[in-house]
Structure 1
Amino acid sequence: MFAIMSSRSSLRRLTVATPYLSRHLVGCCKGIRCFSKTGLKNDDAYDQTIPNMRIDENTRVIYQGFTGKAATFNAKDTIEYGTNVVGGVSPGKGGLKHLGLPVFETVREATDKLQPHATCVFVPAHSAAGAITQAIEAEIPLVVAVAEHIPVHDMLRVHEILRTQSKTRLVGPNCPGIIAPGRCRLGVMPYRQYSKGIVGIVSKSGTLSYEAVGATTAVGLGQSIVVGMGGDMLPGTTLVDALNLFLEHEETKGIVVIGEIGGEAELKAAELIKDYHRNNPTDRKPIVAMVSGRTAPVGKTMGHAGALLSHGDVSAEAKARALQDAGAVVVPHPGVIGTEMKRLLGM
């Protein structure tokens, strides 16, 4: 995963990790518009949107691509779950009703009428970047994009836009979404195994996040918020972003971080955990970590675009050591996450 933290750091990191992208970064980002004037550095402006992930039963949700097959199926489940879905957007179908809710022609119109706090982007990958951009333009606080295979150049443009503003936070793409169990579900998580509780979970892998959920549910801890960072090379929310969310979230008493091969997100997370432990020597939240992909062959994508171990990349073992050295308790597999977290919490 390569999180774009600013134009300068983007170019530096992409030069090391993906030479082709670095050569074309400047050209593909010409003409990018600034959506809000913050007076802050890019990192600081976008970081202000981290609290937007504090979803709950009062979060008003719309769907982009609302009348499509995938969105319809997901929205039915999400409404049944209790999420406050208030309408959606489908170009060419504005003015109609779908699932008993209003359909609007544009995101701007839906925002003006419904005042949503979040939007679920359920459009094909080739159109997803445009849909995300429209949501940023409308200043919707939280955008969740589940689509896989969004073109990398499209996501580079989205990231440059994101970091010109301080209103909208993106989770995804290529992710299961974000959920506050029992209150609000934005994405495709198999919600029946989730339970409201006290453990915050962030994971690159959707499947492993479900395993961590199952493990923490089984021991009676439950989850406060679960963030799917996603398997895209250019995620809108990183492990560090989610950690910052959980460290300031009162309902979260323990934190689970699940990484994998590819990128440097785990090393950045380790740096933050080390700083957190140094600044909080006694009163601190326990952090359990796991890194998958220790047996992955070099040069083979393992499941999604970001899970790729290239020559010269940091190995899964090295990432696990960095997290352990920082103070996280590293476990070998997700089945023990629940019992280990319960032990650390003294419960």
Structure 2
Amino acid sequence: MAILVDQDTRVICQGMTGWAGTHYSAAMMEYGTNVVGGVRPGKGGSHHINLPMFNAVAEAMTETGANASMVFVPPPTAADAMIEAIEAEMPLVVALTERVPVQDMLRVRDCLKGSRTVLVGPNSQGILAPGLCKIGVMATGSERKGGIGVISRSASLTSEVTAQLSQAGLGQSTTVGIGGDAVHGLSMRDSLELFLHDSETQGVVAIGEIGGAEEQELADYMAEVKPKIPVVALVVGRHAPVERRMGHAGAFQKGIGDAQSKIAALATAGAIIADSPHLVGETMRAALQVAAA
């Protein structure tokens, strides 16, 4: 069973009239996602790609029954768009925008406290429940429906791992791109908790990288709850220079966040470590065989 989204998810796009919003909304509809409208101040009452446009998220929710929003608003105003959706009590917000200023995301984080909204991202590739719902920018074609959950900080590695799992005969329940920025919503720990509460999830792949403490927090949670299903972990960036920014905003090491310490923490907590990106699918297949023995 999928987490966060399903066949009943009704999606609006904040920033739909821009190139990215237009392109990916259309791609999502082609996949089968139920996109029900868009939000762009000043465009209310018009139509775009044959969908109604609204001036505000609350109005769009009332008129369409939307229960999820994706944010394709440019970085300077992306935080305001997220906050609008949170204040409208949108259950799920998926923020695809990259390079949202950290100070802006601190405002978003404060707004999330005590809210009913689950925020995924920003700088997320999105959420994909194969055959049910796609919210985001991920490529499709190699995914298969099944019982493996995928949690990832990396968009490109998510695509690679999804293809590997399918090739190994293992379908996916949901892939969740939590986003690579230093300050974001749903964490790796939060995602694993959701998967562990899904009785149909048979295993989970966690894709981590250098920077921050997401993987250590995931390891702490695993040590606490001791998952009864296999958790395969991949952490990339083993050879990255320490205390140097590598790639996007989340991949910055200063005292913590190096790959080796993350790998050690996850292994100690019971995760099965995939030694290389190309081994994730086979590592999960072998882990499931051991669990079933």
Shorter-normalised TM-score: what interval? Answer: over 0.9
TM-score between the two structures when normalised by the length of structure 2: 0.95
Residues 36, 51 of structure 2: 8 Å contact kept: yes
Shift of 1:53: 4.8
Aligned to 2:54: 104
Residues 50-65 of structure 1 aligned to structure 2 (within 5 Å): 53-65=3-15
Between structures 1 and 2, the one with greater helix share:
1
Aligned to 1:294: 238
Aligned to 2:224: 275
Pairing 1:198–2:147 present: yes
Separation in structure 1 between the aligned mates of residue 225 and residue 161 of structure 2, nearest angstrom: 23
Amino acid at match of 2:233: A
Aligned to 2:127: 178
Amino acid at match of 1:212: V
RMSD: 1.4
Task: Report the CA distance shift for 1:109/1:314 in structure 2 as closer, same or farther (over 3 A).
Answer: closer
Pairing 1:252–2:201 present: yes
Aligned to 2:252: 308
Separation in structure 1 between the aligned mates of residue 186 and residue 110 of structure 2, nearest angstrom: 14
Q: For 1:5-56, what per-residue CA distance to the aligned partner results, in whole angstroms no more than 9, with x for missing partners?
A: xxxxxxxxxxxxxxxxxxxxxxxxxxxxxxxxxxxxxxxxxxxxxxx95211
Q: Classify the secondary structure of the residue corresponding to 1:327.
A: coil
Separation in structure 2 between the aligned mates of residue 114 and residue 250 of structure 1, nearest angstrom: 31
Separation in structure 2 between the aligned mates of residue 73 and residue 199 of structure 1, nearest angstrom: 29
Residues 242, 258 of structure 2: 8 Å contact kept: no
Q: 1:266 aligned to 215, 220, 233, which one?
A: 215
Q: For 1:272-293, what per-residue CA distance to the aligned partner results, in whole angstroms no more than 9, with x for missing partners?
A: 111222xx6xxx1111001111
Pairing 1:126–2:70 present: no
Aligned to 1:153: 103
Q: Classify the secondary structure of the residue corresponding to 1:191.
A: coil
Aligned to 1:221: 170
Pairing 1:142–2:92 present: yes
Q: 1:325 aligned to 262, 268, 291, which one?
A: 268
Q: Classify the secondary structure of the residue corresponding to 1:178.
A: strand
Separation in structure 2 between the aligned mates of residue 233 and residue 314 of structure 1, nearest angstrom: 12
Q: For 1:98-133, what per-residue CA distance to the aligned partner results, in whole angstroms no more than 9, with x for missing partners?
A: 111111111111011112110010110111000001
Residues 246, 252 of structure 1: 8 Å contact kept: yes
Separation in structure 2 between the aligned mates of residue 107 and residue 315 of structure 1, nearest angstrom: 40
Aligned to 1:337: 280
Separation in structure 1 between the aligned mates of residue 257 and residue 208 of structure 2, nearest angstrom: 12
Separation in structure 2 between the aligned mates of residue 58 and residue 115 of structure 1, nearest angstrom: 11
Residues 324, 330 of structure 1: 8 Å contact kept: yes
Q: For 1:228-272, what per-residue CA distance to the aligned partner results, in whole angstroms no more than 9, with x for missing partners?
A: 011100010111010001101123110001111111111111111
Task: Report the CA distance shift for 1:134/1:140 in structure 2 as closer, same or farther (over 3 A).
Answer: same
Residues 61, 67 of structure 2: 8 Å contact kept: no
Separation in structure 2 between the aligned mates of residue 54 and residue 309 of structure 1, nearest angstrom: 31
Shift of 1:61: 0.5
Q: For 1:139-197, what per-residue CA distance to the aligned partner results, in whole angstroms no more than 9, with x for missing partners?
A: 110000011111111100100110132x1010000110111111111111112222111
Residues 89, 107 of structure 1: 8 Å contact kept: yes
Residues 53, 142 of structure 1: 8 Å contact kept: no
Residues 16, 39 of structure 2: 8 Å contact kept: yes
Separation in structure 2 between the aligned mates of residue 339 and residue 295 of structure 1, nearest angstrom: 23
Separation in structure 1 between the aligned mates of residue 145 and residue 88 of structure 2, nearest angstrom: 31
Shift of 1:72: 0.4
Q: Which runs of 4+ in 1 moved over 6 A?
A: none
Residues 215, 334 of structure 1: 8 Å contact kept: no
Separation in structure 1 between the aligned mates of residue 213 and residue 73 of structure 2, nearest angstrom: 29
Give the fraction of aligned pairs with identical amino acids, expressed as a percent: 47
Residues 4, 92 of structure 2: 8 Å contact kept: no
Amino acid at match of 1:95: G
TM-score between the two structures when normalised by the length of structure 1: 0.81
Q: For 1:66-87, what per-residue CA distance to the aligned partner results, in whole angstroms no more than 9, with x for missing partners?
A: 1111100001110000001111
Separation in structure 2 between the aligned mates of residue 106 and residue 267 of structure 1, nearest angstrom: 39
Q: Classify the secondary structure of the residue corresponding to 2:243.
A: coil
Q: 2:180 aligned to 225, 231, 251, which one?
A: 231
Separation in structure 2 between the aligned mates of residue 298 and residue 321 of structure 1, nearest angstrom: 17
Residues 164, 281 of structure 2: 8 Å contact kept: yes
**Unaligned residue ranges in structure 1 (runs of 5+):** 1-51
Pairing 1:209–2:158 present: yes
Tell me how many residue pairs correspond in the alignment. 289
